[in-house]
Amino acid sequence: MPIVILAATKLRQFINEITPHFIQIRQKIHMHPELGYQEELTAAVVAHELKQMGLDVVTGVGGTGVVAMIDSGKAGKTVALRAELDALPMTEMTGRPYKSIHPGKMHACGHDGHTATLLMAANALCNFKDRFKGRVKLIFQPAEEGGGAGAAAMIQDGVLESPAVDAIFAYHNYPTLPVGMVQTLEGTVLSGNTDFTITIHGKGGHAAIPDLNIDPIFMSAILVKNIHELKLESGQIVAITEVNGGSSKNIIPDYVILGGTLRYITIMDREYLKQLLTTMMNKTVSAYGGQAKIELIDHYPPTINSSAETEHVFKVARSLFGNERVGLKQKISRAAEDFSFYLQRVPGCYFFMGNGENSASCHNSEYDFNDALLPDAAELMCRIAIDYLNGTI
């Protein structure tokens, strides 16, 4: 059966018609935020919408993830599109009529909007599945935030298999960019992150006899200063974010705990920073008679876009929105994303779309996803999948 080319106007007209419904879905999800691996209601909403489209739905993937397949019935490749389900442990301060009803939980990163986007794209792709060959795998993923690594959990449960995924795509809204502006980079687009905990042991005692003590607070202060003064390469970060020690004004404690994060753009950078920090810790603390140990936990590796798939996103975006709304991201982001785990297995591209120049930043209590972005984002996701499957990449 020959493929009938889908006119851009027909796709956009359909998306415009369904937008009001999915704005309501987005705002419903926003009102009921759920943290990583707790997204039961969100997953139920997603599953219900997908079933209404006539799709077979698999739930509980990677914990609370949802997966569905749009099969054109024609032989071809399999492309995956991914959105996140989870919210953040924050209290919302937007004052929106659909604001979170759960104090201490908030969709402060736009995952509600990403989920609504993918549902919109799924609806359109179901309606036009005679216009492409192959399959589109829809991945609604839990626990991206906070090191939850929902992507890794879904991969462990086989989300990239049966059938095997040939390429994968996802986007993130981007505050301060004009609504719908598209940006990304070939290669590393987001940093990797490793958390660390340093415990500095001294010899505690009365504050009035410091000559008999080995002060871990003093040693931690010197170490923080030394870390702050490190001369690092571009993209390398060692940041101290926690200092905990002491219990009384007249007691030198036995130990102090420092916490922080490493950010890097290559795995080699990661190993270099680990060794650098460990060596500096030991040298600094031993110079004052103390002892120290470090615990390092790798979370997400760098997110590395493949060349052909990134060029595909640029090509499709330019065809839809024009050159003036598409550009190279100027810097590698220091944020980390577990989409990186998918890209370690299959080629793909992670890209950004503007949430508005006046948008509050992500992870801010006044942030909200801009519903005006939904139709552009859904159209782009649809066209990325259709053109990839029809062999225009």
Q: What is the mean pLDDT of the chain?
A: 96
Band (3; pLDDT cuts 50, 70, 90):
low
Owning domain of residue 65:
8-189+303-389
- Residue 361 located in a structural domain: yes
pLDDT, tens digit, for every residue of 62-74?
999 999 999 999 9
Considering the chain, what percentage of its residues have pLDDT values greater than 70?
98
- Residue 220 located in a structural domain: yes
Residues in the chain: 393
Phi, psi of 349 (to 5 degrees): -150, 135
Phi, psi of 356 (to 5 degrees): 115, 140
Q: Are 55 and 45 in contact (CB under 8 A)?
A: no
Residues 282 and 341 in one domain: no
* Bond into 163 cis (ω within 30): yes
Q: Are 285 and 218 in contact (CB under 8 A)?
A: no
Does pLDDT of 6 surpass 90?
no
Residues 179 and 213 in one domain: no
- Residue 3 located in a structural domain: no
- Residue 2 located in a structural domain: no
- For residue 208, give every residue at least 6 positions away whose Cβ sits within 8 Å of its Cβ, in sequence order, or none: 250
Residues 180 and 80 in one domain: yes
Q: Look at residues 278, 298, 318 and tell me which one is the last residue of a structural domain.
A: 298
Band (8; pLDDT cuts 50, 70, 90):
confident
pLDDT, tens digit, for every residue of 235-294?
999 999 999 999 999 999 999 999 999 999 999 999 999 999 999 999 999 999 999 999
Res 81: pLDDT: 99
pLDDT, tens digit, for every residue of 101-127?
999 999 999 999 999 999 999 999 999
- Residue 84 located in a structural domain: yes
Give mean pLDDT, residues 329-348: 96
Res 172: pLDDT: 98
pLDDT, tens digit, for every residue of 349-390?
999 999 999 999 999 999 999 999 999 999 999 999 999 999
Does pLDDT of 134 surpass 60?
yes
The whole-angstrom distance between residue 12's C-alpha and the CA centroid of its chain comes to: 27
Residues 223 and 246 in one domain: yes
Can you give the CATH number for the domain in which 290 is found?
3.30.70.360
Q: Look at residues 280, 298, 316 and tell me which one is the last residue of a structural domain.
A: 298
